[in-house]
Amino acid sequence: MTTMQKIKDIEDEMAKTQKNKATMGHLGMLKAKLAKLRRELLEPSTGKGGGGGGDGFDVTKVGDARVGLVGFPSVGKSTLLNKLTGTFSEVAAYEFTTLTCVPGVVRYRGAKIQLLDLPGIIEGAKDGKGRGRQVISTARTCNLILIVLDCLKPISHKRLIEHELEGFGIRLNKKPPQLTFRKKDKGGISLTTTVANPKLDVEAVKSVCSEYRIHNADVHMREDCDIDELVDAIEGSRIYIPAIYVINKIDQITLEELEVMSRLPHYCPVCAYQNWNLDGLVDMSWDYLDLLRIYTKPKGKLPDYNEPVVLPRMHSSVEDFCNRIHKGILKQFKYALVWGTSVKHRPQKVGREHILQDEDIVQIVKRV
């Protein structure tokens, strides 16, 4: 039996199984089996068929952030790239125009944001259909995913794309679960939690762990997690990426229809062909990327406001700032002088652990 057939059989059995406390352990075992089979399917050594291996397109990462355009064929991704970056990506009124990854760069607020026009994916992309594995592997390297949808197509396309990305270990607009999984040498499986009446019980955890041949482990939950999140924690290869649903071709619908679509979370309406709301899309992308601009100030000179050092908010310490400029700076680092909202005094002397805020000004003082 092929891996694809095994996956289908498990999905069919899960669909027929009622969800309740009594079946939680059985469902957990099935979900663990499913995760293992999908991992095997996506590994380059075992990948077969039209999707090739699990490697993405060979596109050098440039700039301060990478944004991927993902969607079904002929939804307007290439037109969007052309209008936003000035990069030529072939546009036509038929499907599968773009057959490789076309990069472009958007300059915004002093930052360089790389935009990737990825080939249209099809249902089953996560299992290797079309060039699905390459497309989604490249999407995994992005800091933000723009899911481009045609407003004239069924809204079910949104869920289909989410399903394809999730099957490849991408979690959209989610944070890693507050769940700690640690293997140990003995003592069996233990579950501790700070949540009253959690979804998971120790029997369900044991069922999932047994499928991975793990018989001794500590599981601690700081929030109410489900079986899927437990499997994600054990697999350890999941990535969490923000996403914006770009609803394209809104020039072809009524205001009433647009109002209905506006209820979607993480939604941005545009018309790439007519240049409608492209500025709004770039603004929204900047917010989702959550980047900070830090200005450098050489001693005795004015700050350089033209070329900021751009950092993600999650990695915005003075040490991160120094490493972004040059990894050798920390060897001579003595302290930094900072002007801005992250300090009480201007300037304030800080160490390498200090967390910077947007538009801070930093002067590095080196040891003599």
Residues 6+ apart with CB under 8 A from 308: 110, 111, 293, 294, 295, 296, 359
Q: How far apart are CA 368 and CA 355, in angstroms?
A: 25
Q: Quick one: angle between helices 24-42 and 202-211, nearest 10?
A: 30
Beta strand segments in the chain, E = 65-70, 102-108, 111-117, 144-150, 170-172, 179-183, 189-193, 217-221, 239-241, 243-248, 267-269, 291-296, 304-312, 333-339, 348-350, 361-366
- Is the domain 291-366 a CATH 3.10.20.30 member? yes
For 71-125, write each residue's pLDDT tens digit: 988 898 989 999 998 876 555 444 444 457 888 899 999 999 999 988 877 665 5
| Confidence (pLDDT) at 48 | 39
Tokens (6 digits) for 209: 């762990």
Which sequence spans correspond to the domains of the chain? 3-42+177-235, 65-174+239-289, 291-366
Selected from 3.40.50.300, 3.40.50.620, 3.40.50.720, 2.102.10.10, the CATH number assigned to the domain covering 65-174+239-289 reads 3.40.50.300
Percent of the chain with pLDDT strictly greater than 70: 89
Burial of 199 (C-beta count, 10 Å sphere; 0-12/13-18/19+): middle
pLDDT tens-place string over residues 281-333: 999 999 999 999 999 999 999 999 999 999 999 999 999 999 999 989 999 99
